Amino acid sequence: MAKSSSLVTKVSAQRRRRVHRPRRSPTKPERAAAAVALSHEKILLAGVDAAADMFGSLAGCPSSPEYPVVPDMDDRDVDGAVDDAPAAAAGRRASDETLAVHAGEKLGSGAAETDSIATPIVSGTTHWFRDSADLIAFREGRRRSFEYGRYGNPTVKVLEEKISALERAEATLVTSSGMNAIVATLLALVPPGGHVVATADCYSEARAFIRDKLSNMGITSTFVDLDDDMEALECVLDESEVTMFYADSMTNPHLKVVDVTRVAELCHRRGALVCIDSTLASPINQKPLALGADVVLHSATKYIAGHHDVLAGCVSGSEALISRIRAWHHDLGGAISPNAAYMIIRGLKTIALRVEAQNRTALRMARLLEKHPKIERVYYPGLESSPWHGVATRQMAGAGGVVSFDVASDLRGVMRFVDALELPLIATSLGGCESLVQQPAVMSYWGKSEEEKAKNGIKDNFVRFSFGIEKFEDLRDDILQALEKI
């Protein structure tokens, strides 16, 4: 051991002695060899990207091209997120896995200028300037800085750049909740006298705000059902001057998928904006902006934060549109705290790993439940039997971690099933590490009329299951034993 220790000491000492030699330009043969090596590296990277395709990686799924990577996404440079990155990194597109880790930090503007690996929490609510000239430079956009916490924060800026990179967006605004992002977006982009067309099954609180609150501001609304085709939307677009089309894709809890590309074509032809709430899909599974949408919303509480411990929302799009939304957001005052932003940054770094695991578990479980004698119907766009399977495979890289299903029983029987589950928690929300389960007739719709439940497709035997990152076999065994209790 003594001999080995002295050897290590000797080698270490040799490594510390550096000889400084003048650099020389590479010769022509060396440049040619380097070009060949770079070409081989690109081929290897392409193979890695192909292997990372979400749908293709799910057990039992056919490989590409039946489940393609989302069109155009993989070839786009994230210009808005990596302007100041080294030239070598800017020359090729980073993957979602890499962007989730480095965007806004090593790949980004360096808003939280530091050499710390972990993003610092800048808790100060106000920022000072060296002198009047410094302040004027900031006001004129010649100096990057911050002024007041409600208008921006270095920690929050890192999070916004990270989400922009994942969404392939020019800009992102992070807010204190998903609902705050929805309200700020609608108020900023739909003027008095405007007209909003929304899907009948969009988020219930967004639907109520559009129907009840916007109407008090002179804004009209129409709710359409896109279950069969686009005829209802086309009719409204032909008959009215529509300002915005608003929809969730996927929808909650029935997991319907809007054909974003087709909707964008129809709406843009008539001058209407397209806003997609992509919360249930996550930025990993779907890129609405790349499909033609103008803005994309998320309840960042769900997949983006991923740990059931922080409340937030976000909206991404062009710099021009996000600037308009940001101005309203400043007035509404829905700023997120730097501590919450840090928690989301920390959670977001594993989003690709989490979502891939949730995609895989959900699809395997949906297939298992579809064949179970005590299950009447399974709602999941990853299943070939789903009416939304075709559009999902065209525009999504995975079908998400939520599976809904009808149990062959009544209200009390399904309550026994839910109560017999040992792993999932009976709770609302979704997208976190822990699996959650709910019977909407007992949770969200308890005390509601039969008419209202029927209108929203909520039956007494309907269950929504949000899968976490637990081992599939453990969840499978738990669900099977609980079904036996019916």
Residues 6+ apart with CB under 8 A from 124: 149
In the annotation, is 379 catalytic?
no
Which residues in 86-167 belong to E strands, given as ranges? none
Catalytic residue among 67, 203, 303, 342: 203
Catalytic residue among 150, 346, 349, 394: 150
Q: Give the burial class of 258: count Cβ atoms within 10 A of its Cβ; 0-12 exposed, 13-18 middle, 19 or more buried.
A: buried
Round to whole Å and give the CA distance between 339 and 347. 12
In the annotation, is 150 catalytic?
yes
In the annotation, is 203 catalytic?
yes
Catalytic residue among 53, 74, 248, 277: 277
Best CA proximity match to 342, nearest among 314, 313, 310: 310
* Encoded amino acid at 155, one letter: T
Round to whole Å and give the CA distance between 105 and 342. 12
C-beta of residue 393 within 8 angstroms of C-beta of residue 55: yes
C-beta of residue 460 within 8 angstroms of C-beta of residue 411: yes
Tokens describing residue 278: 């992509």
In the annotation, is 92 catalytic?
no
* Encoded amino acid at 9, one letter: T
Which of helix, strand or coil describes residue 361? helix
Round to whole Å and give the CA distance between 362 and 468. 9
- Strands 313-317, 273-277: pairing kind: unpaired
What end-to-end distance do the CA atoms of the chain give, in Å? 66
Q: Enter the DSSP assignment of 337.
A: P
CA distances from 390 to 58, 123, 158, 260, 395 (A): 17, 47, 36, 13, 9
Residue whose tokens read 């999941």 = 380
Best CA proximity match to 52, nearest among 281, 345, 359, 303: 359
Catalytic residue among 157, 302, 326, 354: 302
Residue 409 burial (CB count, 10 A): 17
- Residues annotated as catalytic (active site), given as ranges: 150, 203, 277, 302
